[in-house]
Amino acid sequence: MGMNDFRKLIVASGLRMYDMNLTVGTWGNISLRDTETGRIYLTPSGMNYHQCCSDDIVVCDASGAIIEGERVPTIEKDLHVGIYQKRPDVNAIVHTHPIYSLVFATLGEDIPLVIDEAAQLLGDTVRCAEYALPGTTELAENCLKALGDKSNACLLKSHGAVCVAGNMDMAFVIATVLEQTAQVYYMGRAIGNPQPLSEKDILCMQDFVKNRYGQRK
């Protein structure tokens, strides 16, 4: 993909996030990493997703230094850059504000892997990061701690969710599965005590998706 392709994908992904009700207003943010150059493409701060265009996308290098774009980048730039530095498996990040995930974020509670889709794709228990103000180094550090080395999603206390993946399409799958899991867990707790899948079953499901699911290549 060329630079313009990355920019266009960020713009399209912002609309996708908004239209999927994964955020409201100008909240949330999105980024992509170009694996060939190490460049990171970010949504601008506080811009309406339906008014954002390719020229509004901000580009930084692997250290977080802005190298292209006239707009102010998302205030969570350091959070995105920090994840890319720690997780070489991640090339796309979607920071969302969906309602059921926010319920558990306000409670400061983790979301266990209670359904097969969560076990297959979320990587690990969805942990809630300790609270920090938006846009701070502390928030970025707390997010990295909650994600760890293998989880594909975490909650930000009283704020939202962060979903990571190797590409943008999968990042949106992760975001969708996280919100579905949060809703199921919320509803399950309303009438009972939903139990997380066992570690053995989680590992089995992850192996199934990685090695045996879908059409043989």
Average model confidence (pLDDT) across the chain: 94
Q: Please list the active-site residues.
A: 76
Q: What would the mean pLDDT of 54-83 be, rounded to a whole number?
A: 96
First CA to last CA across the chain, in angstroms?
24
3-class state of residue 63 by DSSP: coil
Q: Give the tokens for residue 62.
A: 């692997």
Separation between Cα atoms, residue 199 and residue 202, nearest integer Å = 5
Across 26-30, 174-178, 204-208, least confident range:
204-208
pTM: 0.94
Instruction: Kindly write down the DSSP assignment for every residue of 142-153, as one continuous string.
Output: HHHHHHTTT-SE
pLDDT exceeds 80 at position 216 = no
Structure confidence at residue 176 as a pLDDT band (50, 70, 90) = very high
Q: What is the pLDDT of residues 133-150, one digit of tens each?
A: 999 999 999 999 999 999
pLDDT exceeds 70 at position 96 = yes
Strands (DSSP E) found in 117-212: 127-129, 153-156, 160-165
pLDDT exceeds 70 at position 217 = no
Q: What is the pLDDT of residues 21-49, one digit of tens each?
A: 999 988 999 999 999 999 999 999 999 99
